[in-house]
Amino acid sequence: MTCGKIVSHWATGRWPILLALPVVIAASFGIVGTSPAQQEPPAAKPPAQKPAAPKPATAPAAPAPAAAAGAAQPNLLGQFGDWGAYTATPGGKKICFVLAKPASSSTSPPNRPRDPTYMFVSSRPAEKVKDEVSIIFGYGLKPNADASIEVAGANYAMYTQADGAWVKNAAEEPRLVETMRKGQDLKVKGTSAKGTASTDIYSLKGLVQALDRVGQECR
C-alpha cells in the first residue's frame, strides 16, 4: 500500500491519539487529508473538553517513508468481522487499536466526493490511554461544529478539527465503548466545511473480538 501522510512527531497527553494514530494508519492505507499533527494550536478549550487540535497546514506534496518520521507501519493482529486489530509504534511508543470502515455512507446533497473514512478505538499504555474513540471523516469538517455518534438510542457529541473527531467528554468513552460492544451498528454524523452533511453507518460485528485481541497486546 502507498504511504499517504506521515506523522512527524508524537504528542503526549490523552487526547492527541487523534493527531498520531490516524496519520499512522493513513501511511499504510493511503488515506488522503490534512493532518492535524501539522497544525498550530488554536485557543484553549474548557477543561471539560479535550484540547482543540491545531489549525490545518498544507499537506506534504509527496509521501515520505514511514521510517523517516519514526512511525512504524501498523502490524495486523487479526481481522474480526468488520474490525481489524493492529499495533504500531510511532515515535517509539506502542499503541494498539481497532478500526473499521463504514458499512454504508450517504451525503446531503447526495453523492458528494469524500476521501476514505475510518473509525478507531485506540489504547496507548505508556500514557494510560484506553479505548479512545476517534474518526477520520474523509473531508474537512465545518469549523466550530460538533459531529456525533448515535448508538443504542444514546448520542455522544464529538469535538471536530480538520478531518478528524473524538468524543468531547472523555468520561463518556467507557460507557460508549461498552455500548458498542453490545450493539449491532452505530451511526456517525458530521458536516463538511462546505456544508455537506454526512451519515456513516458502522457495523459492530467483530468489535468485541478485535478489542479483546488488542487488550491482550496492550495491557
Candidates 128, 146, 126; CA nearest to 137 is 146
pLDDT computed for residue 182 by the predictor:
95
Residue 123, number of CB atoms within 10 A of its CB = 23
Domain 74-217, second-level architecture: Sandwich (2.60)
Q: What are the residue ranges spanned by the domains of the chain?
A: 74-217
pLDDT computed for residue 148 by the predictor:
97
Strand, coil or helix: 207: helix
pLDDT computed for residue 25 by the predictor:
54
Tens-digit pLDDT profile for residues 177-198: 999 999 999 999 999 999 999 9
d(CA 184, CA 146): 24
Locus of grid cell 501522510: 5
Candidates 88, 155, 114; CA nearest to 31 is 114
d(CA 74, CA 26): 10
pLDDT computed for residue 95 by the predictor:
92
d(CA 215, CA 24): 20
pTM of the model: 0.72
pLDDT computed for residue 21 by the predictor:
52
Residues of the chain with pLDDT under 50: 1-19, 28, 30-71
pLDDT computed for residue 177 by the predictor:
97
Answer positive or negative: Cα dihedral of 189, 203, 139, 135.
Answer: positive
57: exposed, middle or buried (Cβ count in 10 Å: 0-12, 13-18, 19+) = middle
